[in-house]
Structure 1
Amino acid sequence: MVKIRLSRGGAKGRPFYHVVVTDQRNKRDGRSIERVGFYNPVASGKDPRLVLNLERVQAWLSKGAQLSDKVQALVKEAGKQSVA
């Protein structure tokens, strides 16, 4: 099954996550099909906290991809940001 989930990057104590489309059998930070955005939980100042390509996310969902719990919350948050 294809999942849209987070892939961790960054240094110890400074996490940075890519939102990726991948096969669920791959490792967390392993091979991915497509990168559709990023999430920076420790963003400060003018650095963006969340950037998502919602069109690509919707395209993958229409093909049967599943969202992880955290990514589902992030998509909801990004939808509110785009409306405002």
Structure 2
Amino acid sequence: MAVKIRLARHGAKKCPYYRVVVADGRMPRDGRYIELVGRYNPLTTPKTIDLDLEKIDEWVAKGAQPSNAVAHLIDIARSDAPAPEKKQKLSKKAAAKAAAAAEDAE
């Protein structure tokens, strides 16, 4: 049985939050899982990462493989640094409006 530590998506449309779960690799993304080991909410500022690192270490010792996203969250949780924020890219309209405001200010 290939056991994985991965994210399970919950929440409403366009308002996701994630549970970090230990699940059989053959189960669906949001399906049955073995154990809940944490939570991740990307919508809060700063992003909320709540992981039980002791349980995760036990599962990794038993042979569970963390997904790429979960491995990144584990690294962030171990470093005790806030999750890195992505730069917000302005839309074309917002960029044009900002450029027009800058020209008017001059």
TM-score (structure 1 length as normaliser): 0.91
Identity score, percent: 49
Q: Which has the higher contact order (CA 8 A, sep 6+)?
A: 1
Question: Which ranges of 4 or more aligned residues in structure 1 deviate by more than 6 Å?
Answer: none
- Counterparts of 1:38-77 in structure 2 under 5 Å? 38-44=39-45, 49-77=48-76
Amino acid across the alignment from 1:9: H
Larger radius of gyration: 2
Unpaired runs of 5+ residues, structure 2, are 82-106
Amino acid across the alignment from 1:11: A
Partner of 2:79: 80
1:15-54 Cα offsets, whole Å, 9 max, x none, are 1000000000000000000000000000137xx6110000
Unpaired runs of 5+ residues, structure 1, are none
Partner of 1:30: 31
Amino acid across the alignment from 2:20: V
TM-score (structure 2 length as normaliser): 0.72
Which protein is richer in helix relative to its size?
2
